[in-house]
Amino acid sequence: MVGRLAELPHGTTKKFKLRCQGNTVEGLLIGYEEKIFAYVNRCCHISLSMDWVDNQFFTEDKRHLVCANHGATYEPTTGECIWGPCLGEFLQSVPIKIDEGNILAFCPE
């Protein structure tokens, strides 16, 4: 389990770690309009974590995710970069399953 539904209202995020094929992958849960999305915390521009201030990913208006490094801006529901140096690319999504309020995450492909 990497999180609980109740702790991710709209505009909040939570980081988690997964062990995948011997490597640790840092993921990111996103609460957005009563749904949960999950991505690998790795910007499409350069392979870096997107948060400088720990666990801060949302723009001020809570509509988009933003990479603190050079400002790439992503659509929370699809992971598509809609502004910035990696325009049109997608964050790698992490498969999740919600079971009785518990969020389970699985290694991305």
Q: Which is nearer to ligand FES, 14 or 45 (CB)?
A: 45
Q: Which is nearer to ligand FES, 3 or 76 (CB)?
A: 76
Q: Compute how many other C-beta atoms are within 10 angstroms of the C-beta atom of residue 45.
A: 18
Closest CA to 60 of 11, 14, 15, 8: 11
Q: Is 34 left (phi over 0), alpha (psi -120 to 50) or beta?
A: left
Question: Smallest gap, in angstroms, from Cβ of residue 67 to ligand FES?
Answer: 3
For 31, 40, 43, 106, the CA distances from 109, given in Å and listed in that order, are 22, 11, 17, 9
Question: Smallest gap, in angstroms, from Cβ of residue 32 to ligand FES?
Answer: 20
Question: Smallest gap, in angstroms, from Cβ of residue 84 to ligand FES?
Answer: 5
Q: Which is nearer to ligand FES, 35 or 70 (CB)?
A: 70
How many residues make up the chain in this entry?
A: 109
Please give the residue ranges that form the binding site for ligand FES (CB under 6 A).
43, 45-46, 48, 50, 67, 69-72, 84-85
The neighbouring-strand residues paired with 1 are none
Question: Smallest gap, in angstroms, from Cβ of residue 34 to ligand FES?
Answer: 27
